[in-house]
Amino acid sequence: MAEIRVGKNETLDSALRRFKKQCSKSGVLSEAKKRKHYEKPSEKRKRKAAERTTKRG
């Protein structure tokens, strides 16, 4: 869970920017998108295989 503390002289925009950056680093949003719908094991294997081929370059 991403958590930030807003400083005394910090604007809301900069705090929100820091929060979004922390969320993207921790992978909260991507995990939520993955869990939004059930993914069959065969689809999961296909997705992981595709990720491996794109990682190789």
pLDDT of 1 above 80: no
* pTM (whole model) above 0.85: no
Q: Is residue 3 part of a domain?
A: no
Q: For 40-56, what is the mean pLDDT?
A: 91
pLDDT of 33 above 70: yes
Q: Is residue 29 part of a domain?
A: yes
The token pair at 54 is 């794109």
Whole domain around residue 44: which residue ranges?
12-56
Q: Is residue 18 part of a domain?
A: yes
Q: Is residue 2 part of a domain?
A: no
Contacts of 40 (CB under 8 A, 6+ apart): none
Q: For 31-56, what is the mean pLDDT?
A: 90
* Total number of domains in the chain: 1
pLDDT of 57 above 80: no
Q: Is residue 5 part of a domain?
A: no
Mean pLDDT of the residues in the chain: 90
Q: Is residue 6 part of a domain?
A: no
Q: Is residue 32 part of a domain?
A: yes
